[in-house]
Structure 1
């Protein structure tokens, strides 16, 4: 029953294994190399001002929190699945925890600066 296992070839399985490419010396199909595809997504230039970056991050955080709240309300109404509600709430929680961590670092930096002698 296992006698023919070592004798597999593309013709035995009815073609080139469905991979495309060329047949090598051992009778196995060599895959066609994949070329890199340029990324068609154009990104906006990042702001260079720290205040602008912080403002943009704040707006994105507010948007995430609002989306989570709207999805939770839709879930209560039966318009969203449990998975959608959980994903939105988890994203909101992560955003809130990140905001709290950033706030704590800013307060810590302010306190350290206020202790400096002039």
Structure 2
């Protein structure tokens, strides 16, 4: 686990290549966010496909640090609607409309795969 691993992860995330992204996840991965817990790479990729069907989702790491076996990453996440979206996070969007989120992520990596990701809004 190093900076290059996460730079590659976000580059892959931004590419909208779901199968390439799947390679970063451990079979027992958990993603924890305000929306709840998603378990397993299949569920994470399903959510990812849903998001990227509706938005161009570009995550840009602003700061990457490591401590006690965890990665701490500040992310600027910019969404741009590909089409009209009636409800995403309680909001409606017209095609081309954008918004940004500042996210703090904490990752745990085992065997060079993400096994746990906790995301929170700042």
Please report the TM-score for the alignment, with normalisation by the length of structure 1. Answer: 0.24
Larger Rg: 1
**Higher RCO (CA 8 Å, separation ≥ 6 residues):** 2
Larger helix proportion of the pair: 1
Please report the TM-score for the alignment, with normalisation by the length of structure 2. Answer: 0.23
